[in-house]
Amino acid sequence: MRVLIADDHSLFRDGIVSLLEAAEFQVLGQVGNGEDAISEARRLQPQLLLMDINMPKMNGLEALKILKEEMPDLKVVILTVSDSDDDLFTAMDYGADGFLLKSLTADEFINLLEGLRRDEIAVTRHMATRLLKRGKGQRRGGSRTGMLTAREVELLKLVATGLSNRAIAQELSVSPNTVKYHVKNILSKLNVQNRTEAVAIALKQGIISNNSPSKTL
């Protein structure tokens, strides 16, 4: 697996590179801030980006959001000392493929990254529990649309107008694959089977209205 590392602590990066190379990951590069993470991800086309949150210029969560919209197939795993629910939930809302703490042992870390090859999410059982509890809480509260990012809501409004993925892609100046990725996430977050059900929930909860023209989005 080809990896890019984004962390502002170069000594930490050096250590991570050693661990990854020993586990036969191919490290393509290292950067120290979110802006460089974006430009290097575009240039190097890694399969996996390991990214810290607190970095200068642009933090890891902002970079994650931008990269996931642009490169939905890129796996991004947040690697941080932050154990806060806010960071965890925001990262997952922005499409992170994992959220790992730097307090993990090297073996746990490598095992969780290996799981990405099987399309698993790289989170510990403790993190998974927190995410499940949060999901349960949101379902009880009834506002499933609250889980959607601003971009997903924007896209859902276009879906409601009856546009195809290709037409939505043109409208938003993104690739059809990006639209497909967002639609898949929307269906998953709303726990529905198709676009019609998703639109019905959004209408019911007032996220979109029947007469809202897409041009105003």
Partner 1 sequence: MQANVVILSSQSLFAEGIAKRLQQTLQSAALRVIDPATSTAMNDITDSAPSIVIFDVTDTKAASFCTQNDLLYSFPSLRLIRIDPESEQMRVLTSECHQAQQVQDLLDVIYRPLYA
Residues at the interface with partner 1 (CB under 8 A): 9-12, 14-19, 22, 79, 81, 102-106, 109
Rounded Cα distance, 35 and 55, in Å: 10
Rounded Cα distance, 73 and 2, in Å: 13
- Provide the minimum distance between the beta carbon of 4 and partner 1 in the complex, in angstroms, as a whole number: 16
Rounded Cα distance, 207 and 203, in Å: 6
**Virtual torsion, Cα 109, 115, 121, 122, nearest 10 deg:** 0
- Provide the minimum distance between the beta carbon of 91 and partner 1 in the complex, in angstroms, as a whole number: 17
Toward partner 1, which CB reaches closer, 10 or 170?
10
- Provide the minimum distance between the beta carbon of 44 and partner 1 in the complex, in angstroms, as a whole number: 21
Instruction: Judge contact between 139 and 133, C-beta under 8 A.
Output: no
Toward partner 1, which CB reaches closer, 11 or 150?
11
Backbone φ and ψ for 92, nearest 5 degrees, come out as -70, -35
Toward partner 1, which CB reaches closer, 102 or 195?
102
Toward partner 1, which CB reaches closer, 56 or 162?
56
Helices (H) and strands (E) in the chain, counts: 10, 5
- Provide the minimum distance between the beta carbon of 32 and partner 1 in the complex, in angstroms, as a whole number: 10
- Provide the minimum distance between the beta carbon of 78 and partner 1 in the complex, in angstroms, as a whole number: 13
Toward partner 1, which CB reaches closer, 106 or 116?
106
Rounded Cα distance, 53 and 63, in Å: 9
